[in-house]
Amino acid sequence: MCATCGCGESAGVRVSDSAHSHDHDSHDHSVHSHDHGDLHHHPHSETVVLEQRVLAKNDELAARNREWMRTRGISALNVMSSPGAGKTTLLVRTINDLGGRFPIAVIEGDQETQLDAERVRATGSTVVQVNTGAGCHLDADMIDRALAVSRPVDGSLLLIENVGNLVCPALFDLGEEGKVVLISTPEGADKPVKYPHIFAVADLVIINKIDLLPYLDFDVEACVRQAEALNPAVRVMTLSATTGQGLSEWYSWIGARLGRAPVTVDN
């Protein structure tokens, strides 16, 4: 088990360009993403040391990723959520609405399958699939290898869809410029208090599926208060990736991250 997050030691990582998903051998790399070392004698003290080593190595790689992207004007957003919150739907809608304004590339993280990557690929956007096996999050090394495959053009928006999980992705810097946490109304309004760390590090919290509010007992104001109590600097917005309600605010936020004029789209 990984000392930092508990993901399986046998986890293999596969990085592939879904445009060539029929030929995995040309792109796949099966390695475990963590350096477990040779510490086996004193598990309690050595677990702390190992965790520090894992995170320190990851942070070093993340800094390299960030510098590589900054020198090319690439703005990366790390989009995190629990499974089913609507990350892929939001990314597909965003690409379809904004793809003609500036280049958009996607790194798609899942434990298995290329289903979400194929949905993104149907938009015409560049997408690289990272399958983590038993791993429960993306890390900086996976992003480094995915960038080597996709080579997003200068000035791109890079959307990184992390593995569905509200715990471990918060621990690993990928080299992104912004962290986006997506929750959906069917999940309940108490997600910030149940998973405080990921909300504490978020730059933006999106409450998705607000079109379902008439059918649910979801207190939007309470959810916003919880998030802001954990992270006074966080921005919270509500939208529906399905109907388009509230997407103009999301697009304007993206435009600001890219250093461009506010983006407006008729939905």
Taking each helix axis from N to C end, the angle separating 247-257 and 87-98, rounded to the nearest 10 degrees, works out to 70
Q: pLDDT digit string (tens) for 241-257?
A: 999 999 999 999 999 98
Look at phi and psi of residue 83 and say left if phi exceeds 0, alpha if psi is from -120 to 50, else beta: beta
In a domain? residue 82: yes
Euclidean distance between CA atoms 69 and 156, whole angstroms: 9
At 225 the pLDDT is 98
At 263 the pLDDT is 64
In a domain? residue 29: no
CB atoms closer than 10 angstroms to residue 172: 24
Cα angle, residue 120 at apex, residues 115 and 121 outer, rounded to 5° = 95
At 9 the pLDDT is 47
Q: What are phi and psi of 235, to 5 degrees?
A: -105, 140
At 264 the pLDDT is 65
In a domain? residue 25: no
At 259 the pLDDT is 81
**209 pLDDT exceeds 70?**
yes
At 201 the pLDDT is 98
Show the domain range for 45.
40-257
Which residue type, as a one-letter code, is found at position 20?
H
In a domain? residue 134: yes
Of residues 34 and 212, the one with the higher pLDDT is 212
In a domain? residue 8: no
At 5 the pLDDT is 64
At 25 the pLDDT is 38
At 15 the pLDDT is 85
At 30 the pLDDT is 35
Which residue type, as a one-letter code, is found at position 39?
L
Write the CATH number for 99: 3.40.50.300
- With a CB cutoff of 8 Å and minimum separation 6, the contacts of 48 are none
At 17 the pLDDT is 78
Give the mean pLDDT of 180-195.
98
Whole-number average pLDDT of the chain: 86
At 51 the pLDDT is 67
In a domain? residue 221: yes
| Structural domains counted in the chain | 1
Q: pLDDT digit string (tens) for 121-143?
A: 999 999 999 999 988 999 999 99
Worst-scoring range by mean pLDDT, 13-27, 140-154, 171-185, 225-239?
13-27
**12 pLDDT exceeds 80?**
no
Burial of 165 (0-12, 13-18, 19+ CB in 10 A): buried
Q: pLDDT digit string (tens) for 72-85?
A: 999 999 999 999 99
Of residues 168 and 48, the one with the higher pLDDT is 168
Of residues 25 and 266, the one with the higher pLDDT is 266
Nearest alpha-carbon partner for 146 in 244, 57, 61, 56: 61
In a domain? residue 76: yes
Q: pLDDT digit string (tens) for 21-66?
A: 433 333 343 333 444 344 344 555 555 666 678 889 999 999 999 9
**165 pLDDT exceeds 70?**
yes
In a domain? residue 60: yes
